[in-house]
Structure 1
């Protein structure tokens, strides 16, 4: 079956439909003269590259629902109608959405997936763009897979093993710290947070050096399940806490993407791997942690564990020479209250760069919005018994106070970027290339930021 995808504009759909009665992304399948036409509404006041990804995903889902055996896509009419967009990038982004929409996590289902249709393209001149689209989608799907794994299948130990497997045939060197090695490197917070679980904590370090560019450190929160510890979480949605390692998944996916594209970068990823449980040996509110930089932190709340382990990771990244540190984490519910479920918050001690990161988010589909580092809020982190408390004394501005806490672990000459993605680890709606389960948020954005910072 050959399908010609055409833009739906007034006059080109004959007697079959009217573009005036459809919305952006609407599709109608029409057969005429032994040819099947898929008319698509692409009318939008401002058309962005992310819209092409969404359309690619929607076409993929629609075509799959028709159960065709063989599909030949003729997409040139769409690209010709969008001639203001670079053709090569248009092909890449459309097919990226197409590949991403084909994802599903069915590892533990007995049903077999339906056989795929055979796909042919009419833009064979763009093989490199197709290849990059596939590489990008595969990296995002790695992050999706990691986030979707149940907690009993992705313990810190198994996560470390998976990381080793993922990078086995790449030029990324993987090292796993555990036990006494954590002590030797001064990673006391990782040890403290993880000691309530029968699954011991670990830290993964991934090194990729393809150039002598600026050494960038990526730090991803890898809490494989967060019960809240002694300050136990409640509520019916607690199962989602298996995705509290979404930041680490983004880092793993980004490192795979950078390696597969042979990007000219020097980057080290640092991933604390812990379970935060209320076991018999769990850390307690009022415990004090001494960090490698000499700061002492009082535990005001064991459910604010992410910032504790991130601080360890940030200090380690700086200790091995990273002069730019980017951390990403499913850190606070407050960021969702501020920005909703589609956009993550981004902070930096170089505030002038935040709008450039926002533009990168728009290009990659990982939307971020600049957030302020209000230094006066340091007062909310005061402790009567230590240098800092990990819990703010205010009920307001939780995403900002969490970022302020982390800023205490940034050295004077280090450039620092913090991404709070707690609200974006799952799709805000299942449209375009977004499907059930995790989004894989951050993979493409981190890759672009690393390349930018490593120039």
Structure 2
């Protein structure tokens, strides 16, 4: 069966017998059969249509069509373009196609009996839009890389397997991959990665990805890669601890972003740093009260082994600094507190130059990876004091946990470096399974990181 997709924003565009005011509201769908033809009416009634709205419509269209075992769907691209304002034609088409492709994602590789559905084809009956399709596929494939990594069970994505997949992924690309194993971590300055990871039978690694590394000072992307987090000695007690297989969501986002930028032939200088550990309470596990001495001489008392993410990110920040990075962007599933502050739809974003924050928020809205500006409160530095070391990795207050975690990281950032920190713990899964978001991981951060890096100058994100 073929389906004609009809975009409607008023009751008068619906067949008279179906003119219910709820049927043309934004994102609502209605399938009508007429003789040998089928029509999918898609509501577009909204005061202002954004790029993310177009992706949503593309995804929702795909979701509905897959339910009906449709072979071909036909969309009049002119009707799609007509519902938008101040958006370029190609931009609109790319967004719709991106949503369409992302909605087709499924992670069922470990199911013995996979439920297969017919792969529907989308035809735009005005132009071929070959370049738009190509770009939409590149963008959606990069996001799906992050989804795949996050959805893998903990025993199928250890640090060792993660670095193996990185080597395979970038084997025939311009991306250089360097892997530091446990024997080289301390020499390379990754003392915290060694400490956090040594308690597990799955040993720690650090992956360094370089793209166009000879052009100017690099922009550094850092992703937290805890492939499973039990909390270590301070063991987690939550009932959904299986979700901690996604505690490498930041590492997945950085991996997808590097792949996206490489496929887009990005010409800048990029360094990605991905520390990879399993945080469990093994016989060699690090302990509360341990002191870690960092590459720059700063000492940290371990107040809580379940605050391991900030420890390994600090190592990576110092490595980025030693590599002359003037712009550092880290992304991590860092704190549960960020979800308490912002809910499940927007990640928290921090910056040591507040003038950037609202521009970064706009990039989040255009990319679909929503972020909300969060403050760095210098007064909270006192909450990280330790009687034994320079810092404690755990705040002495139960309040403002995402802010104090960011303040901990700020101690490792040089004053002349532009630093962005994204706490995405609340967005590693979609807040709802709708639009182009299926079950499983969201792939959050891939497009946002690429958008930030692709600015002509990174400072162009300032509004």
Could you say which TM-score interval applies, normalised by the shorter chain? Answer: over 0.9
Alignment partners' CA distance in 2, 1:78 and 1:347 = 36
1:223 to 218, 221, 226: 226
* Structure-1-length-normalised TM-score: 0.97
C-alpha distance in 1 between matches for 2:43 and 2:297: 59
Give the C-alpha shift of residue 173 in structure 1.
0.1
- The aligned counterpart of 2:13 is 12
CA distance, structure 2, for counterparts of residue 374 and residue 229 of structure 1: 29
Would you identify which runs of 4 or more consecutive aligned residues in structure 1 move more than 6 Å? none
Separation in structure 2 between the aligned mates of residue 53 and residue 16 of structure 1, nearest angstrom: 29
Matching residue within 64, 67, 71 for 1:65: 67
Secondary structure at the counterpart of residue 175 of structure 1: strand
Aligned partner of 2:46 among 25, 44, 47: 44
Question: CA deviation digits over 1:113-149, x for unaligned, max 9?
Answer: 2342344332434211111111000000000000000
Distance across 1 between alignment mates of 2:227 and 2:192: 16
- Structure 1 counterpart of 2:279, from 271, 276, 282: 276
Q: Which residue of 2 aligns with 1:26?
A: 28
Cα distance in 2 between the residues matched to 1:210 and 1:186: 21
Matches within 5 A, 1:120-269: 120-209=123-212, 212=215, 214-269=217-272
> Conserved in 1, the CA contact under 8 Å of 2:206 and 2:273?
yes
Alignment of 1:94-113 (within 5 A): 94-112=96-114, 113=116
Three-state SS of the structure 1 residue aligned to 2:394 is: coil
| CA 1:308–1:3: 2 relative to 1, 3 Å | same
For the pair 1:293 / 2:314, whether they are aligned, the reply is no
Q: Cα RMSD over matched residues?
A: 1.5
How big is each residue's C-alpha offset from its partner over 1:211-266, in whole Å with a ceiling of 9 and x where there is no partner?
Answer: 73552000100000000000000121100000000000000000000000001221
1:384-439, Cα deviation, whole Å (9 max, x unpaired): 00000000001100000000000000012111000000000001000100010000
Distance 1:5 1:106 in 2: 29
CA offset at residue 40 of structure 1?
A: 1.2
Comparing 196-205 and 210-219, the one that deviates more? 210-219
2:391 matches 1:400 = no
How far apart are 1:168 and its partner, in Å? 1.0
State yes or no: 1:117 paired with 2:125: no
The 1-side partners of 2:362 and 2:120 are apart by 36
1:323 counterpart = 2:323: no
Aligned residues: 455
Equivalent pair of 2:11/2:21 in contact (CA under 8 Å): yes
In the TM superposition, residue 84 of structure 1 has moved relative to its aligned partner by 4.5
Between stretches 18-27 and 68-77, larger displacement belongs to 68-77
Deviations 1:75-118 (A, max 9, x none): 43232233553221110001100000000101101123234234
Q: Which runs of 5+ in 2 are unaligned?
A: none
Q: Which runs of 5+ in 1 are unaligned?
A: none
Q: 1 CA distance for matches of 2:263 and 2:382?
A: 45
Render the CA deviation track for 1:178-224: whole Å, top value 9, x for unaligned. 12211111211000000110111000000001773552000100000
Is the partner of 2:40 in helix, strand or coil? strand
Taking the aligned partners of 1:167 and 1:224, their CA distance within structure 2 comes to 20
- Indicate how the Cα distance of structure 1 residues 20 and 214 shifts in structure 2: closer, same or farther if over 3 A, else same: farther
Report if the CA contact (8 A) 1:5-1:77 is conserved: no
Secondary structure (helix, strand or coil) at the match of 2:220 reads: strand
Counterpart Cα distance in 2 of 1:299 and 1:215: 31
